[in-house]
Amino acid sequence: MKKLFTMALLASGLMASIHVKAQAEEDKSKRPSPPAKVTQKINSGATISIDYSQPSVKGRTIGKDLEPKDGQVWRTGANEATVFETDKNVTIDGKKLAAGKYGLFTLFSGNKVTIIFNKTWKQWGAFKYKQADDALRVDTKYTTEASPIEKMTFKISPAGEVTLLWGNRKVEFKVH
């Protein structure tokens, strides 16, 4: 009887751990802001990728009802922090960035946009973002597009032009 009780206890523990593991491995494609990834080998020979989640505007106003908001660091997407990865040392708008993975954050202030490459790439949102962990910051401006984009989207050209499209905003920076 004691053996039977022990076996039942072990079996229920195993089933509980399988259930917890299954929940941890959720299907992220079913999220309201699904995952997306863009990868491109650029002319300099480096392969860069951006792994992010795509929020949708859904009739909301960016900067008011929806991030990014002026003066607040944004994860540049939804859910986990957006990850920028390069397999070789590159320059971003003329500033050096070592090969590796980075959290890609942005800071909007008026039409000025600071692109932030942060050493802490594995985190949820920007809740644990620390400026002390920034590897690089570059400043650019956003332009306003006539045709708004519903789902936030990144594009990378072979020439190394990285474009972020979100609502009617377009942000670009150059990777060499």
70 has pLDDT over 70? yes
pLDDT at 29 over 50: yes
Strands 95-97, 90-92: parallel, antiparallel or unpaired by DSSP? Answer: antiparallel
77: left (phi over 0), alpha (psi -120 to 50) or beta: left
The predicted pLDDT at position 93 comes to 96
Whole-number pLDDT of residue 125? 74
In percent, the amount of the chain with pLDDT more than 90 equals 76
Kindly list the domain boundaries of the chain, sorted by start residue: 30-174
- pLDDT 10s digits, 105-131: 999 999 999 999 999 999 887 778 999
Residue 14 has pLDDT above 50, yes or no: no
Residue-level pLDDT at 12: 52
Instruction: Spell out the residues 6+ positions from residue 110 whose beta carbon is closer than 8 angstroms to its own.
Output: 70
The confidence score (pLDDT) of residue 17 equals 46
Specify whether the CB–CB gap between 55 and 152 falls below 8 A.
yes
Tell me the residue type at 65: D
Which pLDDT value is given to residue 4?
52
- Comparing CA positions, the residue from 100, 127, 132, 104 lying closest to residue 117 is 104
Looking at residue 92, its pLDDT comes to: 98
Q: Are 148 and 170 in contact (CB under 8 A)?
A: no
